[in-house]
């Protein structure tokens, strides 16, 4: 069982895509801790079942690949038959694809943009009728969309930069219905993202993480729980006067260059 703490989401239904591991699971846990009912979406059956066991049987898990329209339709249909409304949507599913221009291929470019941008947009189109007035949408960007601090970020970084712009567009479109849209911008996180999404070896992933960590002024990786704190703030009534904004959680990475002592 998950212990409870402050109860900002009692009586609310919170959807988390990419919710079976890493940052998504951390956010889902925190919603539950604060009284919310959670629906997680993922494509790995075993990982989904494991995550749901951690969250508690009152919460739901939907197996779907939201990188496809069929997967998006499956999520939308499952929600229509299982919940009356959504109070919070956290779109966390994403794809990596770190290759310099000389090594980039069209299939990788399309895969990254498809999941990170296109499918997020069309998933929200399907979910919009169920998001309650006064509800909140939080997208997940990346510091890679703000700073070109290494080669190979053409597809991933550009897709995340576009997602940050899209956040402001959607905030303007949704405001008439009282729905807030914001984005959290993590950087240098302690997760298995590289290994899991782009097939990096453990050694290559560790090397990339060490390189990024050396550029972070706070000299460490961020923990999923630290980003989750930002997501829950943006999703809560505490942020009721905030929409169309980006909340950066990156240890100073995109703000200034660490000079050392």
Within a domain: 217: no
Of 156, 165, 241, 258, which one is the catalytic site residue?
Answer: 156
Within a domain: 203: no
Q: Encode pLDDT of 20-79 as tens digits.
A: 999 999 999 999 999 999 999 999 999 999 999 999 999 999 999 999 999 999 999 999
| Cα–Cα distance measured from residue 15 to residue 79, given in angstroms and rounded to the nearest whole number | 9
| Cα–Cα distance measured from residue 238 to residue 236, given in angstroms and rounded to the nearest whole number | 5
Within a domain: 4: no
Residue 221, C-beta contacts closer than 8 angstroms, at least 6 positions apart: 188, 189, 190, 209, 212, 213, 251
17-21, 204-208, 219-223: least confident range: 204-208
Alpha helices in the chain (DSSP H): 22-33, 45-55, 69-82, 106-113, 119-127, 154-174, 193-198, 202-215, 224-235
- The verdict on whether 156 is a catalytic residue reads yes
Within a domain: 61: yes
Within a domain: 1: no
First vs last Cα of the chain: how many Å apart? 45
**Strands across the sheet containing 13-17:** 60-63, 37-42, 13-17, 86-91, 131-140, 180-186, 246-249
Contact of 104 with 155, CB cutoff 8 Å: yes
Within a domain: 198: no
Whichever domain contains 144, its CATH number is: 3.40.50.720
Within a domain: 242: yes
**How many independent structural domains does the chain possess?**
1
Read off the pTM: 0.91
Within a domain: 243: yes
Coil, strand or helix at 220: coil
Write out the residue range of the structural domain in which residue 107 sits. Answer: 13-191+224-248
């Amino acid at each position: 069982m998950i212990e409870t703490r402050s109860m900002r989401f009692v009586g609310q239904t919170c959807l988390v895509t990419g919710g079976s591991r890493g940052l998504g699971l951390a956010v889902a846990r925190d919603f539950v801790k604060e009284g919310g009912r959670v629906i997680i979406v993922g494509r790995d059956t075993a990982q989904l079942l494991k995550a749901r066991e951690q969250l508690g049987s009152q919460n739901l898990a939907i197996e779907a690949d939201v990188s496809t329209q069929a997967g998006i339709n499956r999520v939308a249909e499952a929600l229509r038959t299982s919940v009356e409304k959504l109070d919070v949507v956290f779109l966390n599913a994403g794809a990596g694809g770190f290759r310099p221009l000389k090594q980039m291929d069209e299939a990788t470019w399309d895969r990254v943009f498809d999941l990170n941008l296109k499918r997020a947009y069309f998933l929200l189109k399907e979910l919009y009728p169920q998001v309650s007035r006064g509800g909140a949408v939080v997208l997940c960007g990346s510091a890679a969309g703000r700073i070109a601090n290494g080669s190979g970020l053409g597809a991933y970084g550009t897709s995340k930069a576009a997602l940050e712009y899209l956040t402001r567009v959607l905030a303007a479109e949704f405001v008439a219905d009282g729905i807030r849209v914001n984005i959290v911008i993590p950087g240098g996180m302690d997760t298995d993202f590289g290994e899991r999404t782009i097939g990096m070896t453990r050694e290559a992933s560790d090397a990339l993480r060490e390189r990024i960590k050396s550029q972070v002024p706070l000299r460490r990786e961020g923990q999923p729980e630290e980003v989750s704190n930002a997501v829950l703030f943006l999703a809560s009534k505490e942020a009721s006067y905030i929409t169309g904004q980006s909340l950066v959680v990156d240890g100073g990475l995109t703000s200034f260059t660490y000079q050392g002592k």
